[in-house]
Amino acid sequence: MKSLKLSAALMLAALLGAACGLHETPTSTSGQAANKNAPAAPAINTNAAGDTSKAASAQSAAGDGAALYQSIGCAVCHGADGKGNPQMKDIPNFTDAAWQKKTANAELIRLIQNGKPPMPAYKNRLTDEQINALVAYLRAFAK
């Protein structure tokens, strides 16, 4: 009886978390969100001296952004593939080159921070680094 109550409580918590966009997603063995439709992180480019630190940081940010994109529920409306849920109105297609070109990073940051109904604001839930990682991930959809 005790285990049944615990099981019911865990299921209720999972449902409430999913409804609030705070659900966890299955992870791969590497600990990253398992999403076969998500874009790959940008490739690491080295300069003539072989320095990969800046490029590696960009790749890491996109990877962190992928995990955030899944864990906070972005894929519910924006789609795992970034093309947007076709049953929702006015959802941008992150894979569209024209949308990518016309939408500045500052605008993406503002939208993530402040939200836009029905999207919630994340300024009190995410750090600046996490928001920048999400922006890097959104940019990776175009590649």
- Name all domains of the chain by residue range, CATH numbers in brackets: 24-140 (1.10.760.10)
Rounded Cα distance, 7 and 16, in Å: 14
Asked if 64 and 71 count as a contact pair (C-beta separation under 8 A), the reply is no
Other CB atoms within 10 Å distance of the CB of residue 79:
19
Per-residue pLDDT reduced to its tens digit, 92-142: 999 999 999 999 999 999 999 999 999 999 999 999 999 999 999 999 999
> Which amino acid, residue 34?
A
DSSP class of residue 49? T
Residue 23: count of CB within 10 angstroms of its CB: 16
pLDDT in tens, 33-92: 434 444 443 333 333 444 444 444 555 666 799 999 999 999 999 999 999 999 999 999
pTM more than 0.95: no
